[in-house]
Amino acid sequence: MTTDPDCIFCKIIAGEAPAAVVARDEAAIAFMDVNPITPGHLLVVPCDHHVSFGTIPGAILSHMMLTAQWLAAALQASPIRTEGINLWLADGAAAGQEVWHAHLHVIPRWSGDGLRISALRGARPGGDELEQHAATIRAAAAD
């Protein structure tokens, strides 16, 4: 198991720091966010220490996503107010990552819950620009 002694999520996984754990297995753990955006806010975390989304092995990433789906259903079946769900993954400081052990947020949502995700979108780019970006990304994509 890959671990970082200075990482708070590794400490939780090792049982060296407290957390309200909902589920865990060999690959991933799910626990309550200590400072929830809405009640029921969960984090799904790989047991191995991966800083970034990009280095999580595919099988573990798939397992994290299936765990998030399963927990979303549990939230919806529970008395915790859940009219919708947002999944959120912050990869990198510019994206808002604050804990450097990759994790997937599962956030119960309801109309009027106060969470705002705002964006300053400009005008729609022309089709040429979209095609150019698609070609640039295709060229950069690893096989």
Sites of contact with ligand 5GP (CB under 6 A): 8, 19, 31-35, 90, 96-99
Identity of the residue, 9 or 31, whose beta carbon is nearer to Zn ion in the bound complex: 9
Spatial distance between the Cα atoms of 109 and 80, rounded to a whole number of angstroms? 10
List binders of Zn ion among 14-53 (CB under 5 A).
49
- Report in angstroms how near the CB of residue 32 gets to ligand 5GP at its nearest: 6
| CA distances (Å), origin 95, targets 34, 48, 74, 90, 110 | 20, 22, 28, 5, 24
Spatial distance between the Cα atoms of 58 and 42, rounded to a whole number of angstroms? 21
Judged by CB under 5 A, how many residues of this single chain contact Zn ion?
6
- Which single residue is written with the structure tokens 């989304």? 53
- Report in angstroms how near the CB of residue 48 gets to ligand 5GP at its nearest: 17
Spatial distance between the Cα atoms of 54 and 102, rounded to a whole number of angstroms? 9
Question: Which partner, ligand 5GP, Zn ion, none, binds residue 101 by CB below 5 to 8 Å per kind?
Answer: Zn ion
- Report in angstroms how near the CB of residue 89 gets to ligand 5GP at its nearest: 7
For residue 105, state whether it binds Zn ion (rule: CB under 5 A).
no
Spatial distance between the Cα atoms of 115 and 141, rounded to a whole number of angstroms? 34
Per CB under 5 A, residues contacting Zn ion are 4, 7, 9-10, 49, 101
